[in-house]
Amino acid sequence: MLQSLFDGILVGSILSLGAIGLTLIMHILRFANFSHAELISMGAYFTLTLDAMFAAISSTLVTQLPMLSVTISLVLAMLFALMITGILAATIDKLVFKRLREKAGPLTMVFASFGIGLIIRNVIGLVYGLKSTHYNSDIAFAMMLSSDPLLLVKADQLFILGITVVVMLGLHLFMSRTSVGYALRAISENPVLAQINGINLGAMVRLAWLIGGALATLAGVCYALNNQLSPVMGRDLVLSLFAAAIVGGIGSIYGAALGGLIVGLAGSLALLIIPTGYKPAVPFLIILLALYIRPNGLFGEEQ
Amino acid sequence: MTTKHPAVFRAGLAVNGLTAGYIRGMPIINDVSLTAKHGEIVAIIGPNGAGKSTLLKTIAGLLNVESGNVTLDGLGITGIRPDKLSQSGVAMVPQLENIFRTMSVQQNLRLAARRCQGQWRKPVDEMLRRFPMLAEKYKVRAGSLSGGQRQFLAIAMALVASPNLLLLDEPSAGLSPKAAQEVLGMLKEIARSHVSILMVEQNVKAALAVSDRAYILAEGRNQYEGIASELLNDPVLGQIYLGARRTEAHATESV
């Protein structure tokens, strides 16, 4: 039970990172962006390439952080990948979604997002191959934090939890203390009112893509550290991300963070009573339950 | 950006032959012209679907203009983005969803004060002095305010950046008679600080009672213009506004 709780919180925190960008874009641009999950794969693979580049540049960068399988080059690679994926996400919006917003309806954008997602996934498969891989092939051993009830935790997992907590806290401070954070929340809540209060919609949309892309990269790296890199990792996460965004309430950043934890915990705890093969159905069930009990989600505003 | 001149030199709002709508080629308002001088309250009245709110949204830069132009103090503001326009002295209070419900009163005001380009505390404090009920609810989530309090917050958000032009869309809609009276009664005081007020209002009598001039809009076009107090007693107003003339015409056609 304790192990399941820990695993659920870990997976949930990764989902939260991915769901925040998804919920922001979904609410501001009013369309379900199915390609968002592929930003997770994109960011994770960018990190893989940059990690190899940095490691080739200097051998000192291959030094592992104390107790972790994470190297300095991987951390640097992740920081660069955050920016690159964010900029690419904003570029995809400019090249595809912005044009469709001006000329077509939300449904067209949803189908376009499927297309973009397929393209990204297949390009990753083409470039990196279809086999799964790891950032570090060393075997990471788990520490036994408790024997009864059993709780096995890897140092990398604590690192992931630490990163997500710090990022969430930073995002909270950004959203609640800065005028840019207010502006982003305002655009997310009511784009028309935000504009007549002097907020540049285009700039905020670009910022939302940048944040969404960066957080997706972080989610991708954390997911890959906990599991493995695979071209289909985004596809595997997409339903859980939507479930997290819907449970939390579309548009709510705090809702997405909590929604991610709920979905992660539900998936992990469900394994105590259902066979592993049924685990992928859990996000569906959560979406159905959320829509039935609270259609606007935990923090969502009635539309 | 509009330069602040002494009121006497400023021309206020001038709308000339404005045609606009939500879909290009399908205009809601056609060739609409009007003016609102500084310190003047101008009401736009007309039946539902006449294009009153569309006119306000177009002036605020939220809709694309197909033809015609809008000037404020002699400077063209047609086609300027709404966020730029709001920093140039144009403020709007939409009819619905006119506050950020998930934010506190303070956050709403601070957000609106972004248009002040720099200091936000001083103009926000000024609004709190002007609207004491908002000071009492400063930390309260705006979504939990009463209808009247929300409307005052929305007006305070519009006024916080000292606009030259205030666009009000149905300011008394959904309010209790007392709150509606308070909101409309405040307009005179706002106009005294040389703000042009253009107001769309369904409550015709109340709107005309506080306005200097009024325009009647029907089917997206200017139908009538006059001094508010004269229009208030004009039987033509009732005919057009209540649709009596059209009903009669339809009846005649049917016969």
Q: What's the confidence (pLDDT) of residue A103?
A: 83
Do the Cβ atoms of A301 and B101 come within 8 Å? yes
Mutation target vs B (from A23, A193, A250, A252; most B CBs, 10 A cutoff): A193
pLDDT digits (tens, 9 = 90+) for B204-241: 888 888 999 999 998 889 888 889 888 888 776 666 66
Q: What is the mean pLDDT of residues B157-174?
A: 92
- What are the angstrom distances between the C-alpha of A171 and each of A20, A88, A176? 10, 21, 8
- Full-model pTM: 0.84
Domain boundaries, chain B: 9-96+163-254
CA A248 to CA A185: how far, in whole Å? 15
Chain B residues inside the 8 Å CB shell of A252:
102
**Cis? peptide before B123, omega within 30° of 0:** no
Chain A residues inside the 8 Å CB shell of B87:
198
Do the Cβ atoms of B100 and A196 come within 8 Å? no
With 0-12 / 13-18 / 19 or more C-beta atoms within 10 angstroms meaning exposed / middle / buried, residue B29 is: buried
Which positions 110-129 of B are in contact with A (Cβ < 8 Å)?
110-112, 114-115, 120
Q: What's the confidence (pLDDT) of residue A189?
A: 86
Structure-block tokens of residue B172: 């008394």
Mutation target vs A (from B57, B80, B83; most A CBs, 10 A cutoff): B83
Nearest to B87 by CA among B107, B113, B62: B113
| Helix, strand, coil percentages for chain A (3-state, nearest 5) | 75, 5, 20
- The tens-digit pLDDT sequence of chain A (303 residues) is 788 888 889 899 999 999 998 998 888 888 899 999 999 999 999 999 999 999 898 888 788 887 778 889 999 999 999 999 999 999 999 999 999 988 888 889 999 999 999 999 999 999 999 999 988 877 767 777 777 788 788 888 899 999 999 999 999 999 888 889 989 989 988 899 999 999 999 999 999 999 999 999 999 999 999 889 999 999 999 999 999 999 888 888 888 999 999 989 888 888 888 888 888 888 888 888 888 888 888 887 665
Q: What's the confidence (pLDDT) of residue A38?
A: 95
**Cis? peptide before A149, omega within 30° of 0:** yes
> Would an 8 Å CB–CB cutoff place B98 in contact with chain A?
yes
> Would an 8 Å CB–CB cutoff place A183 in contact with chain B?
yes
Please report where in the chains the tokens 């890897």 appear, as a residue: A154
Cα B143 from chain centroid (whole Å): 22
Nearest to A251 by CA among A164, A178, A184, A200: A184
Nearest to B62 by CA among B31, B36, B28: B28
User: B9-96+163-254 belongs to which homologous superfamily?
Assistant: P-loop containing nucleotide triphosphate hydrolases (3.40.50.300)
Please report where in the chains the tokens 């305002």 appear, as a residue: A186
Range list of H helices, chain A: 2-29, 36-57, 72-92, 98-103, 106-128, 155-177, 179-189, 191-196, 201-226, 233-248, 253-270, 281-293
Longest dimension (CA), chain A: 61
Please report where in the chains the tokens 């579309």 appear, as a residue: A250
Q: Range with the lowest mean pLDDT among A163-167, A292-296, B71-75, B156-160? A: A292-296
Q: What's the confidence (pLDDT) of residue A271?
A: 81
Comparing CB atoms, the residue among B110, B157, B161 nearest residue A182 is B110
ipTM of the complex: 0.86
Q: Is the torsion defined by CA of A260, A263, A269, A275 positive or negative?
A: negative
Q: What's the confidence (pLDDT) of residue B237?
A: 66
- What are the angstrom distances between the C-alpha of A261 and each of A5, A14, A91, A244? 10, 9, 30, 8
How much of chain B, in percent, has pLDDT values that exceed 70?
Answer: 88
pLDDT digits (tens, 9 = 90+) for B94-130: 998 899 998 999 999 999 998 887 788 889 999 999 8
